[in-house]
Every structure is written in structure tokens, then in C-alpha cells.
A and B are shown apart, each in its own frame.
Chain A
């Protein structure tokens, strides 16, 4: 397992270098450094994919009960969505959130001591996979839209108040492109979130023979779902654009973060990842 430790270390190192060099590229307005940072992060992502595949294929059955694996997978999905948005919208800039978040969550996965989760039965595996997969993708979309939202609000304020755009602001893409990220995150993210929540209930029905257990995680998830649904409705109907959805998505991202970190680690429930 030592070889995996070395691999993990390299992945974290690449994410760190990717995050740092993008920041430097931004500060010194160097396109070249920015491009290089994306290559570094992509290399880390490639190694990370290899790492996950190897761990899965070597320890099949075993690995799916390790909380470490899921957190690492979450870091991986952040970057997956980042590269997806980069390909769709040509938005390299989101590296500013993607690389540090991936670094943070990935090193977090290394830092926690391994715990064993309840093993999903063979029949329930499908629901469980759907639950984890759709929720992780929608969380990654939320994370990217969070970065886009913060930048949107910053740049919007600068243009509205007619403050001079400095060298760093010059490197920031247009407001419209960040709004597009928000749009995609809501249009794709909300249905996925719904699928994730529903499949969770179905899985719960199979595993615990009950649908809703008043687990704090479940309560907060339902609250998030309602807020998300409202945002989804406003976006689709075309009555919200720009600042408001950006603020909303920041709120939703913080709620999911609170539910993921706060509840999974600090409470004793069946969502707990605590050792």
C-alpha cells in the first residue's frame, strides 16, 4: 500500500502546484502560466483517475465500504465537472475554484482515518451508485457555480460602481460566461440532485425498510431541495438572471457543504463518515 501513498502524495502535489500556478498566472497576467497550471491540474486528474480505478479493481467489494474512497471520488468529480465546463464554455478561469477545492477535499480524504460504511447489498448497489453518482455530480456543478457566482458578484459590482478594472480584473472572463455556468449548474444540477435524493430514499426503503428517518442530513437535504427547486423555476421561467441566481447558488453550495461536512463528520447518523 506504500505505492498508493506515494501516488496519493503526487496527486496532492500536482493539485497544489496547479492551484498555485493558476493564481500566479492571474496575478502576473500571464496566459502561459495559466495554461501550464491547467496542464498540471489535468495531469493530477489523470493520475487521480488511475488511482481510483486501481483501488477499485484491486480491492473490489472492500473499497466501496471505505469512506476515504468516496471523499476522493468527490474531489475527482469536482475536476471532472471543471473539465466538462472548460470544454463546453471554454472557461479556463474556473480553475480558480476547481484546483484548490480538489486539493482540499483530496488531502482531506487522505487525512481522515479509514472507516467502514454499511455495505450495500447486491440489489441495492444500483440505487446506491445512482445516489452517490448524481449527488456528487450535482455537488461538483454547485461548486463550480459557486466559484462563478462569487466572481460574477465581484465583477458586477466593479462594473456597476464604475471602478477601474485592474490587471487581475482584465484576466477575468465576461459576466455572461459566469451566468452561463450558473445556468448549466441549475439546469443540469437540479434534476441530478432530485435523482440523487429520490434514489437515496429508495435505497433507504430497501436497506432500512423506511423512507424518511428524520435524520438531520435528510432534513437539510429536503430544505436544500426546496430552495434549489425555487431557483430552478425562476431560472427556467427567465425571470432571474445574473446576480440573484449567483447569490442563490452560493447559498445552496454553503448549505450542501454544511450538510456534507457538518453532518457527515460531526453527528452520529447513518450518513456519518466518522471513525
Chain B
């Protein structure tokens, strides 16, 4: 009895936000909402619902013609919207295509921002939910674990998630390149725009020591400084305190520059030439671009940062092609495993593994008999070893065959047998025993 993998979904490419909102599946429970039958030994389902995609991974023995109306019907029914509308915006993948799609999603190759890391966490949450709700079985367990490791592989072997693709994060990355860890650094926000606030938040999350806020309206400065546990000041005091700041984020609405190169030069002397990083996200610019000519001073304006982000995005696209190759390899590995879930390959694997072991032991025993051992003894020993293998594996094989006949599906047991007899040569996880200890 063969099990089939289906994947139905819509994402930011196939449906815009109104549609995605209509068909979000938050709180959907595949058992309670009738998608899968609790008593069915084979049906499995996993539901992933985020702001950019809604997907249902479905494993069943039924044909596509049976599955599609059931899944899409259940889905649109839960959302109380027209199934035809849903059908128009969904894609469906079958078999290995579905596996490939799931791996790509996990590796964030299908995301709106290529390589963004959140999707993997969301997928992990979805998987945890499916385990809790007992809708994940043999196939989904394996499939999801493999998708996590495929994602990890793409992340370590390619640079698809490595460089910053948002302006505020690009600024933080540059700051780290200049100062290293930001634990000893202070920053000053001049003006309190939304983007400056975001950059400040990123800096704080990266370990920044302290933040100062200077603003035209002291109340707003106070408010922002309180949020970051920092110090606030009015605009007039800004220049007097500027020498304390290693990182300066400026975003005022001023029509002229508010900090000149000559001023920075003086401040630099006061700081004993410790480096300063100016992030000027105001248009028109707040800081004289000539400060870039000073040693130990770095300045990036909004266009510079945008350029960094665009270049990073372009390089991510190149890396994505390499990542897709990795995904392809992982899909092939998974399909090998899927095929082994059939009964006959498992029996062959079981017997050949036993035979390999027996031959190895046989060789050792014959060697210990010495060179004088006569042919007849050797032959008798070989017979003994081989028949022992046959006898030992006879009962498990009979058991598997009977389950297959009686229950229609022996996959659960085949998978178990493969693990008990270690037929897939799975390496033991390093933390396997650690966990056991912790649990005690």
C-alpha cells in the first residue's frame, strides 16, 4: 500500500494580502476540523499558516482526485469562503515535488525576502503543533526533520542567509565591522524618526551599552530614551555630548546640515581619535559628507545603506541557486528512504545486513582455527552462520508480512524495524545520551 505526499498552499506570489487573510488557518486542527480521520492509520497532516503563506502538507493513501476536494473543501469551509476562490490561488504539489517545495520553504528559498530566517522557526512551531495534535506520523516526522537539516545545510554551505537585507540591520552589521562587539559602545539618536528607532532597537539587541536621544521636542526625546533606558537631551545640548557617542544615528527634518566636518574634527580630538560611525538617514542630509575624509570616522547615508542592501540581495540570489542544488540532493536522499518503506526492500536489507555480519564473524572464526582447518569444518561453520541469520530474521519478517496483509499498512512497523536493526546506518546524534541524562 503506497502512501502519497501532497502539498496545497498559497503564498505571497500567488495571492495578495486580502486573499491570504481570508484563508489563514490559524487554530485549524486537522482532526477536529475533519481533515483527517483519527482512526485512519495512514493519514497525516501539517498546517503552516504565516502572514506570507498558508500551506497544508497532507499524507494519504488516496488518489489526488479524492484528496484535492477534501483538503480544499475543508480549508475553505474552515475559513467560510468560496472554495473556487481558494482553488484559483493555490498551488498543489505531489510526491517529490511536494518534498522539494517543503525543503525550499524551510531553507527560505521561497520567502519574500530570500534567506530570511523566521520561516524555519514558524515551520518548527507548525511541526510541534502537529505532533501535539497527533497528526504527524512516520512520514511527516521524517520529512520535517529532513527539511530542518536541509535548511541547516543550505545555511552553512551557502551564503544565502548571511548578509543584511534591511537598512537598519545593514547599519548594525557595519557597526560591528568597525567596533566588534558593541558591548562598550554608546550611540546617540538625533531626531526620533521611525527608522532611527528601528536601527536603535537593532543596536540594543546586538548588545549596545547605552543610548542617548537628542530631539527638538524634549518630551519625545524623553519618551524614546525611557523606552531604551537611556538619557535624553534637547537639541542644544547635542554637540556638547556628541563626543561620548561612538555611533550616531541622525534623522532630523532639518533643511541644512546640523553637524559639520570641522565640528567632528574637534570632537574627534576630544575623544582621542576613537572611531565614530555616523548613520545619516535624514533627507536632506544632517551630517556634512566631508566627515568621511577624516581618519577613524565612517559615514553612511540612506543611499549608501540602500546600495549595501541591494547588493546583498543580489548576492543572495546567486547563492540561492547553489542552495537549490543542495535541496535537490536532499530530496533524492529522502526519496530513497521513502522507497525503502516498502516491504520487499526492507526484507532484502535485513537479510543482506545479517549476511554481511555473519560473513565478517565467520572470517574471524576461521582465522582463529589456524591454517590447518580442513575444508569440511569451514563449510559446516558457514552453513551454521547462514542458517542462523535466516532463523533469526525469520520471525521479524513474518511479523512485518502479516501486518502488511492484515492492517493494509505496515509502514509504522517497517520504519521501526529499520531503526531497530539500523538498516539506514543513521549516525547517532551527539546529544542523544545527553538528553537521556537530563531527563533523569
Contacts and interface: CB of A to CB of B under 8 A. Distances in A.
A175 B298 CA distance: 12
A176 B295 contact: no
B311 A164 contact: yes
Nearest to B273: A241
Interface stretch (B25-33, B38-46, B56-64, B300-308): B300-308
Contact of A167 (B159, B179, B269): B159
Interface in B253-301: 269, 272-275, 292, 295-296, 298, 300
B176 interface: yes
A5 interface: no
Interface string A164-193: 110100100111110000000000000000
A164 B296 CA distance: 19
B163 interface: yes
A162 B310 CA distance: 13
A273 B179 CA distance: 44
A170 B174 CA distance: 10
Contacts of B304: 162
B379 interface: no
A238 B268 CA distance: 11
B178 A241 contact: no
A44 B184 CA distance: 36
B274 A164 contact: no
B180 A174 contact: yes
A47 interface: no
Contacts, number: 58
A243 interface: yes
A148 to B, nearest CB: 13
A242 interface: yes
A176 B179 contact: yes
A175 B179 CA distance: 6
Interface string A141-163: 00000000000000100011010
A170 B292 CA distance: 22
B281 to A, nearest CB: 15
A165 B308 CA distance: 9
A174 B177 contact: yes
Contacts of B273: 238-242
A36 interface: no
A29 interface: yes
A28 B298 CA distance: 28
Interface in A235-270: 238-244
Nearest to B315: A164
B307 A176 contact: no
A237 to B, nearest CB: 9
A37 to B, nearest CB: 18
Nearest to A180: B180
A243 B308 contact: no
B312 interface: yes
A30 to B, nearest CB: 8
A155 B176 CA distance: 13
Interface string A25-51: 000010000000000000000000000
A177 B180 contact: yes
Nearest to A161: B292
A164 B312 contact: yes
Nearest to A158: B177
A144 to B, nearest CB: 17
A160 B179 contact: no
Contact of A175 (B162, B178, B308, B311): B178
B296 A242 contact: yes
A165 B174 CA distance: 9
Interface of B: 159, 162-163, 174, 176-180, 269, 272-275, 292, 295-296, 298, 300, 304, 307-308, 311-312, 315
Given A29-B159, A155-B177, A242-B295, 17 more contacts: A159-B177, A159-B178, A160-B292, A162-B304, A162-B307, A164-B311, A164-B315, A167-B159, A173-B180, A174-B180, A175-B177, A176-B178, A176-B180, A242-B273, A242-B275, A243-B295, A243-B296
Interface of A: 29, 155, 159-160, 162, 164-165, 167, 170, 173-177, 238-244
15 contacts: A159-B174, A159-B178, A159-B298, A160-B292, A162-B304, A162-B307, A162-B308, A164-B312, A164-B315, A170-B163, A175-B177, A175-B275, A241-B272, A242-B296, A243-B296
Of all A-B residue pairs in the complex, the 3 with the closest CB atoms, nearest first, are A238-B272, A174-B180, A241-B273
